[in-house]
């Protein structure tokens, strides 16, 4: 179950959101009285309520907005109990002062905005002893290990416990709470109005992560990156799981370089059986792998990990997706001789995707040139792949058959930028932009206007994800469902 927190300054807005959420299927809401401007009219808020509520009035020290006296705050909480509210949230230091009455259930809570306490088992036991029906702990995650500790402590608890790690590192604890026995998790009404760090919206929890369908046997997949909040991989993989009715969830894990090894060691304890890998881990993760496929070995980077009989096996689906995307656009994919053979390919950028492209097309007999805004990176890539580096300013002097943008130029929100001036585009060129958000970048729009053959980043992104899905599940990916989910997430304004 998902509890949706509502924090609005006016009674009528809080009541309206409550009714709207109930219409959307919410089964429990938290009314944050500390957000109300002026005197609180409890009876007005609770009259004809469309679904059960938790009454919370949080002090500033606990992350709330209450500015009145502590005596007035506790009086509000007692009044809510007297009105027969379904749940009341009581901080650990006042729980003993407010006795149980009627049918109202007691949530005894503790918040720590600096860290996740070390003694979670002892802490849950102490809070439970304060006549708690439910224990709630919300603590800041500073490392992925904090999620692991919180989720396992929640599973071991003898009193029903909601254990949440705050911040973007802590997002997995909110999504995986159902798998580890939480009676419910918390979300916000809108992702633009989060009431706690790292809180997801009700829509995200339901429509992306399908929270209410998760259980103790749900398989866990995810993406590891730093940062990770921008990734749209959860959107498309979870859409594929839902389409195939596959009991799995795909979670964003923010993992730093320093925490990578420990995270990979602990991931199976969270039910993780497969991961997508992106910046900054594609190269360093190889040291932890027991076996790699040929593409990973050749490129020196992995973007996919699958646990097979306890061993970590690495794959690189970017490689095949990139090759297939371009060769299909050129109309001759699958033949003995690649359609890029003998062609001049100009790659803009010198990062991980550029290396995949340069290596793959150089092996297929193309003349590959690399231009980067950072010239020494282009030099290093050219030396490693045995292709040619040119100055960024010299990119227009090349008569390229294929132009590939591997830079982030043109990515949302900087949609009015392009790495290549339209006046140098020719109708005979193939233009491949690996940026997928938006799909129609300025470069792609201008290439179409010049009658170039175009390949969008969406094509490559979906292809690599589909290959990952096959590795994760053993099933062919539902391409249409994945593509539709991605385009909905990007939105018509950006496509």
3-state SS class at 447: helix
In this structure, what is the dihedral angle of CA atoms 67, 69, 71, 72, given to the nearest 10 degrees? -60
> Long-range contact list for 417-423, CB < 8 A, 24+ apart?
417/442, 418/442, 418/443, 418/446, 419/348, 419/349, 419/443, 420/348, 420/395, 421/396, 422/446, 422/447, 422/449, 422/450
Q: Which two tokens stand for residue 43?
A: 């009876």
E-state strands within 184-234: 185-188, 219-225
Does 237 sit behind a cis peptide bond, omega within 30 degrees of 0 on the bond before it? Answer: no
In the 8-state DSSP scheme, what is residue 94? T
Q: Is 479 left (phi over 0), alpha (psi -120 to 50) or beta?
A: alpha
Neighbours of 134 (CB within 10 A): 21
| Catalytic-role residue among 18, 281, 282, 343 | 282
* Catalytic one of 18, 89, 92, 136: 136
The two tokens of residue 492 are: 């018509």
Please tell me whether residue 451 adopts helix, strand or coil conformation.
Answer: coil
* Neighbour-count burial for 226-248, b at 16+ CB within 10 Å, e otherwise: bebeebbbbbbbbbbbbebebeb
Give the integer Cα–Cα distance in Å for 191 and 176: 19
User: What is the rounded CA–CA span in Å between residue 219 and residue 279?
Assistant: 24
Asked if residues 4 and 206 have their Cβ atoms less than 8 Å apart, the reply is no
Q: Examine the residue annotation and report whether 388 is marked as an active-site residue of this protein.
A: no
Contacts of 207 (CB under 8 A, 6+ apart): none
Residues 237 and 489 sit within 8 Å (Cβ to Cβ):
no
> Residue 364: is the preceding peptide bond cis (ω within 30°)?
no
Q: Which residue in 111, 237, 281, 315 is the catalytic one?
A: 111
Q: Has 212 been annotated as catalytic?
A: no
Rounded to whole angstroms, the Cα distance separating 234 from 172 reads: 12
For this structure, is 386 an active site residue? no
- 136 counts as catalytic: yes
CB count, 10 Å around CB of 331? 8
Phi-psi region at 102: left, alpha or beta (left = phi > 0; alpha = psi -120 to 50): left
Report whether 149 contacts 172 (CB < 8 A): no
Which positions are catalytic? Answer: 111, 136, 282, 318
């Amino acid at each position: 179950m998902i509890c949706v927190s509502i924090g609005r300054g006016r009674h009528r807005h809080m009541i309206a959101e409550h009714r709207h959420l109930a219409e959307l299927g919410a089964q429990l809401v938290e009314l944050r009285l500390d957000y109300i401007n002026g005197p609180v009219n409890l009876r007005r808020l609770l009259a004809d309520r469309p679904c059960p509520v938790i009454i919370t009035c949080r002090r500033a020290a606990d992350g709330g907005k209450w500015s009145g006296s502590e005596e007035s705050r506790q009086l509000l909480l007692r009044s809510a109990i007297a009105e027969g509210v379904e749940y009341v949230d009581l901080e650990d230091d006042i729980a003993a002062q407010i006795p149980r009455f009627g049918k109202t259930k007691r949530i005894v809570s503790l918040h720590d905005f600096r860290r996740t306490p070390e003694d979670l088992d002892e802490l849950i036991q102490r809070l439970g002893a304060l006549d708690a029906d439910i224990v709630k702990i919300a603590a800041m995650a500073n490392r992925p290990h904090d999620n692991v500790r919180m989720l396992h402590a929640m599973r071991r608890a003898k009193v029903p416990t909601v254990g949440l790690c705050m911040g973007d590192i802590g997002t997995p604890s909110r999504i995986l709470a159902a798998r580890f026995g939480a009676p419910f998790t918390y979300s916000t009404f809108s992702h633009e109005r989060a009431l706690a760090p790292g809180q997801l919206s009700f829509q995200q929890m339901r429509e992306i992560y399908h929270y209410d369908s998760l259980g103790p046997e749900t398989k866990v997949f995810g993406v590891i990156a730093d940062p990770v909040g921008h990734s749209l991989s959860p959107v498309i993989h979870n859409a594929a799981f839902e389409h195939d009715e596959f009991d799995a969830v795909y979670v964003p894990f923010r993992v730093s370089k320093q925490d990578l090894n420990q995270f990979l060691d602990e991931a199976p304890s969270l039910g993780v059986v497969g991961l997508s890998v992106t910046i900054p881990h594609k190269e360093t993760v190889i040291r932890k792998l027991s076996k790699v496929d040929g593409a990973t070995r050749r490129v020196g980077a992995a973007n996919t990990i699958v646990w097979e009989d306890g061993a970590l096996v690495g794959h690189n689906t970017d490689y095949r997706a990139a090759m297939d995307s371009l060769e299909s656009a050129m109309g001759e994919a699958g033949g003995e001789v690649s359609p890029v053979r003998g062609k001049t390919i100009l790659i803009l950028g010198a990062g991980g995707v550029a290396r995949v492209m340069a290596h793959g097309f150089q092996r297929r007999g193309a003349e590959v040139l690399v231009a980067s805004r950072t010239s020494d990176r282009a030099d290093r890539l050219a030396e490693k792949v045995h292709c040619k580096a040119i100055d960024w300013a010299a990119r227009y002097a090349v008569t390229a058959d294929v132009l590939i943008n591997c830079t982030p130029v043109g990515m949302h929100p900087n949609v009015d930028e392009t790495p290549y001036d339209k006046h140098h585009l020719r109708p005979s060129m193939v233009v491949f932009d690996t940026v997928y958000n938006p799909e129609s970048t300025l470069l792609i729009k201008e290439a179409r206007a010049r009658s170039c053959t175009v390949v969008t980043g969406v094509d490559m992104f979906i292809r690599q994800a589909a290959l990952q899905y096959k590795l994760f599940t053993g099933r062919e990916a539902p391409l249409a469902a994945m593509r539709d989910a991605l385009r909905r997430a990007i939105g018509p304004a950006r496509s």
